């Protein structure tokens, strides 16, 4: 299937130049390999829905090193993907490691980042370019639990302001729920993000904080967002605003079952007035 394959490391300084190419770029918000209570990893499927075009597929992993806090960027060229074919990766972070593009210092570290999937072909259309990911872990009774999401057009995804509703607490007699949230920098400049939590029953502000220096293409996740809040707070409205001029962010929530760790993934609502506007 692969006509050629080359592996390269791309310095983070070249991100802006690479983003200017005419490729179709889909950003997958989370690609991870981390050992927590259970082992989490991300599978990836890339599809070419075209009946004639054969794009060259390039994968770019962007993550902040847990070893020294530096932003890292690694790229693998997967070669041409023929019409109506699919590439699959059971563990996409392991694939980057196997290709030798994860630096030695991070080989044994927990990796949590975004993956940009580029389709480079004249005439390739957005609707024919497919990236689907699933982050999953072993289930206690066998099989796996996981969350699934798609890669979004990196040129238009996100806005300056995001909103979401989340909950925690009992699910009748069937279990309990908790919530995680995450933010991705979809734009071309680093930014802080101002985040405010409002009690979903009263509308009162219950927490505010700033996410500092979210780099281009970086994702940051916050787990168990109800921890430390009043016990009476069981639902939240979350509002997040990027502070840098022209910044564009996306966000997601994960509602998890506290017993099985099974999760449900959803995107935060993006403010239409702050979304990408094509040049005139």
Kindly report, residue by residue over 40-71, the tens digit of the pLDDT. Answer: 999 999 999 999 999 999 999 999 999 999 99
Query: Within a domain: residue 181?
Result: yes
Residues 28 and 86 in one domain: yes
Grouping H, G, I as helix, E, B as strand and the rest as coil, residue 41 is: strand
- Mean pLDDT over all residues of the chain? 90
Residues 246 and 114 in one domain: no
Residue 149 domain boundaries: 6-153
Contacts 24+ apart (CB under 8 A), 170-174: 171/257
Residues constituting the chain: 280
Last residue of a domain, one of 153, 169, 190: 153
Residues 94 and 134 in one domain: yes
**Is residue 257 packed enough to be buried (19+ CB in 10 Å), middle (13-18) or exposed (0-12)?**
middle
pLDDT in tens, 169-226: 888 878 889 999 999 999 999 999 999 999 999 999 999 999 999 999 999 999 999 9
Query: Within a domain: residue 279?
Result: no
Residues 126 and 17 in one domain: yes
Instruction: Give the distance from CA 155 to its chain's centroid.
Output: 15
Residues 221 and 110 in one domain: no
Grouping H, G, I as helix, E, B as strand and the rest as coil, residue 13 is: helix
Q: How many domains does the chain divide into?
A: 2
Under 8 Å between Cβ of 89 and 25? no
Last residue of a domain, one of 119, 153, 187: 153
**Which residue blocks in 126-241 are alpha helix, DSSP H?**
none
Residue 7 has pLDDT above 80, yes or no: no
Under 8 Å between Cβ of 31 and 44? yes
Residues 230 and 148 in one domain: no
Residues 197 and 105 in one domain: no
Under 8 Å between Cβ of 219 and 261? no
Residues 206 and 104 in one domain: no
> Domain holding 232: CATH number?
2.60.290.11
CA–CA separation, 119 and 54 (whole Å)? 9
Query: Within a domain: residue 117?
Result: yes
Q: What is the pLDDT of residue 141?
A: 86
More confident residue, 13 or 148: 148
Grouping H, G, I as helix, E, B as strand and the rest as coil, residue 26 is: strand
Whole-number percent of the chain with pLDDT over 70: 89
Phi-psi region of 158 (alpha: psi -120 to 50; beta: other; left: phi over 0): left
Query: Within a domain: residue 177?
Result: yes
Which residues are within 8 A (CB) of 197 and not within 5 positions of it... i.e. 6 or more apart? Answer: 205, 206, 207, 208, 225, 229, 236, 237, 238
pTM reported for the whole predicted model = 0.89
Last residue of a domain, one of 153, 188, 220: 153
Query: Within a domain: residue 232?
Result: yes
Q: What is the pLDDT of residue 5?
A: 39
Q: What is the pLDDT of residue 275?
A: 64
Residues 34 and 140 in one domain: yes
Residue 18 has pLDDT above 80, yes or no: no
Query: Within a domain: residue 104?
Result: yes
Residue 12 has pLDDT above 70, yes or no: no
Query: Within a domain: residue 280?
Result: no
Confidence of residue 278 (pLDDT cuts 50, 70, 90): low
CA–CA separation, 233 and 205 (whole Å)? 11
CA distances (Å), 13 to each of 16, 83, 150, 220, in order? 7, 33, 27, 20
Residues 75 and 34 in one domain: yes
Residues 222 and 109 in one domain: no
CA–CA separation, 139 and 145 (whole Å)? 6
């Amino acid at each position: 299937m692969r006509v050629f394959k080359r592996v390269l490391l791309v310095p983070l300084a070249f991100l802006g130049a690479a983003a200017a190419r005419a490729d179709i770029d889909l950003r997958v918000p989370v690609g991870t390999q981390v050992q927590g209570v259970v082992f989490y990893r991300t599978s990836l499927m890339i599809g070419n829905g075209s009946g004639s075009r054969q794009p060259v597929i390039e994968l770019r992993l962007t993550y902040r090193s847990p070893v020294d806090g530096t932003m890292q960027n690694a790229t693998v060229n997967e070669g041409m993907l023929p019409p109506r074919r699919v590439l699959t990766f059971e563990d996409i972070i392991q694939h980057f490691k196997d290709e030798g593009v994860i630096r030695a210092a991070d080989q044994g570290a927990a990796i949590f980042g975004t993956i940009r999937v580029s389709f480079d072909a004249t005439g390739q259309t957005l609707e024919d370019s497919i990236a689907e990911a699933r982050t999953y872990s072993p289930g206690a009774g066998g099989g796996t639990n996981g969350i699934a999401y798609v890669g979004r057009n990196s040129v238009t995804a996100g806005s300056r302001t995001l909103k979401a509703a989340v909950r925690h607490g009992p699910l009748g007699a069937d279990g309990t729920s908790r919530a995680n949230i995450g933010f991705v920098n979809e734009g071309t400049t680093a930014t802080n993000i101002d985040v405010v939590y409002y009690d979903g029953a009263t509308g009162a502000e219950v927490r505010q904080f700033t996410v500092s220096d979210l780099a281009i293409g970086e994702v940051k996740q916050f787990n168990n967002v109800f921890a430390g809040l009043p016990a009476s707070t069981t639902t939240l409205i979350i509002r997040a605003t990027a502070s840098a001029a022209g910044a564009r962010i996306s966000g997601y929530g994960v509602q998890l079952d506290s017993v099985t760790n099974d999760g449900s993934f959803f995107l935060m609502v993006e403010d239409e007035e702050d979304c990408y506007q094509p040049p005139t």
